[in-house]
Amino acid sequence: MKFTDLNRHGGIGANCSLLEIGPFRIAIDSGLHPKFAGLDSTPSHDFLERNSLDFIVLTHCHLDHLGSLPLLSREHPDAPVLLSYASSILARRMLSNSIAVMRRQRNDLNLPELPLYGRGDLASLYDRMKPLAIQTPLEVQKDGHVLKVTLHHAGHVAGAVSVALETKQEKVFFTGDVLFTDQRTLDGAEVPKEKFDVLITETTRGGTPRDPARFRESEIVSLLEGIHKTLDRGGSVLIPVFALGRMQELLFILDEAFRKNTFPKVPVFCSGLGMDLVNHFHEISKNTNRLRFNRRVLRSMGARPLPRNLEPGREPPMQGIFLVSSGMLVEHTPSYILASGLLRDDRNSIFFVGYCDPDTPGGKLLETPQGDDFHFEVVDCIEPNHAEVRRFDLSGHADREELLAYANKLSPKTIFLHHGDPDARSWFSESLSESGATIIDPEPLKTYET
């Protein structure tokens, strides 16, 4: 097979991969880079000749995988888009939000190319979507060859899948973003354990060793303790989260804490997108036993939409728990503005619960010593770091030791490293070097043949 990474900036970002297996040309995912805007945030779609793909697979609906799919699909109108049933529902809400965000950015960032796509492009994309049942192979035929496509439950977030692609000659497995452990609302991955020739593995957490003293459940307990202490001292809590997945998981966890009456009653504020997705989770959970969610949590804890009048450097109008995106405090997002208003007061807390790219404001804030100034550059606001800033490990990604064990189990001849920073990839390169497989850390836009 041949593999080309079309994510022009490398690392994690505008995920998009081209796989060529026999006569079949397949693209997996087409995202937007969270650190860039406009055309710079898209993958290099121009690497592909127009209408040259046989099909596209979407692994899940985070925007670094989904955000530029309408563009890719517009260029390849004959290629069906294969995805899970849950993703076919979640994609609609995520993409219409993405258009709204791009419209705002058009003015804020002075990017006349925005929005990159419109409602018409979304409608065409939805016509090309073909939901596949999990673990139910689809046979695709071309020039007398047959390719079997199977989606496997990947755990990471509702609807997330890993992809197995098999011809008579070759078996390829693409993990996508994967989490083996169960979450409160979602079962862990159910992925194949047999032999594959080629493995394309995510490497998100390759830079961080597993801490033997920390487990998911103990992290939840510490997070709840941290929130409780903050509220008791009169402070507010900001938890920067992805609107899709992490927000609903935390709503579920907070609802449990409120119902046990262990928490002071304060309002919980959420972004509109996160609250809308709650309704979608509710609907999806009726059709699968892998996702457990009920929209009642919003009412039972009195969750409400984020106040509209938030200003940089100003405390929010009332004490509360703020579950807002982005998860990495990316500039121009509600979590970024809120952090600038909360940081100077030592009663407040900012608790990160997932992966933070070291180059994002979230990554930089985590590295800022207590008492030092932090510069919120795009709103030109310098604030002393007095709040309690901590990270809890509730990641949606498997840890590196689990991924290593999984890679060894499949005993592939070739392993491609994917979806990780350079540090993360080099740990995998080294750790997999004794596996007997050829390890490839692909450069963007370079084609590798196995």
List residues near Zn ion by CB under 5 A: 62, 64, 177
**Taking the complex as a whole, how short is the minimal distance between the CB of residue 64 and Zn ion, in angstroms?**
5
Given the complex with Zn ion, which of 177 and 388 has the nearer CB atom? 177
**Taking the complex as a whole, how short is the minimal distance between the CB of residue 15 and Zn ion, in angstroms?**
6
Given the complex with Zn ion, which of 263 and 352 has the nearer CB atom? 352
* Alpha-carbon dihedral sign for residues 282, 240, 345, 214: positive
State the SS3 of 399-417: CHHHHHHHHHHHCCCEEEE
Structure tokens at 292: 């457990």
**Token pair 């805007």 is at which residue?**
37
Nearest 5°: CA angle at 243, between 240 and 249?
85
**Taking the complex as a whole, how short is the minimal distance between the CB of residue 204 and Zn ion, in angstroms?**
7
Q: How many CB atoms lie within 10 A of CB 334?
A: 21
Q: Which residues of 274-294 are buried (b: 16+ CB within 10 A; e: fewer)?
A: bbbbbebbbebbeebebbebe
272: CB partners within 8 A, 6+ apart: 305, 306
Given the complex with Zn ion, which of 59 and 230 has the nearer CB atom? 59
**Taking the complex as a whole, how short is the minimal distance between the CB of residue 221 and Zn ion, in angstroms?**
25
Query: Which residues face 55 on adjacent strands?
Result: 26
Query: Which residues face 57 on adjacent strands?
Result: 28, 82
**Taking the complex as a whole, how short is the minimal distance between the CB of residue 406 and Zn ion, in angstroms?**
17
Instruction: Report whether 408 contacts 195 (CB < 8 A).
Output: no
**Taking the complex as a whole, how short is the minimal distance between the CB of residue 156 and Zn ion, in angstroms?**
6
For 339, half-sphere exposure in the C-beta direction (CA atoms, 13 angstrom radius) is 35
Burial class, 136, CB count within 10 angstroms (exposed 0-12 / middle 13-18 / buried 19+): exposed
Given the complex with Zn ion, which of 10 and 22 has the nearer CB atom? 10
Given the complex with Zn ion, which of 16 and 147 has the nearer CB atom? 16
CA nearest 87: which of 177, 193, 1, 165? 177
**Taking the complex as a whole, how short is the minimal distance between the CB of residue 305 and Zn ion, in angstroms?**
24
**Taking the complex as a whole, how short is the minimal distance between the CB of residue 186 and Zn ion, in angstroms?**
13
The answer, yes or no, to whether the previous bond of 192 is cis (omega within 30 of 0) is no
Given the complex with Zn ion, which of 63 and 323 has the nearer CB atom? 63
Given the complex with Zn ion, which of 178 and 389 has the nearer CB atom? 178
Structure tokens at 320: 């509360």
Given the complex with Zn ion, which of 10 and 226 has the nearer CB atom? 10
Going by the DSSP 8-state scheme, the letter that residue 263 receives in this structure is S
Instruction: Report whether 161 contacts 84 (CB < 8 A).
Output: yes
Given the complex with Zn ion, which of 34 and 320 has the nearer CB atom? 34
**Cβ-closest residue to Zn ion?**
62
Structure tokens at 332: 């121009």
**Taking the complex as a whole, how short is the minimal distance between the CB of residue 13 and Zn ion, in angstroms?**
9
**Taking the complex as a whole, how short is the minimal distance between the CB of residue 338 and Zn ion, in angstroms?**
23
Given the complex with Zn ion, which of 62 and 153 has the nearer CB atom? 62
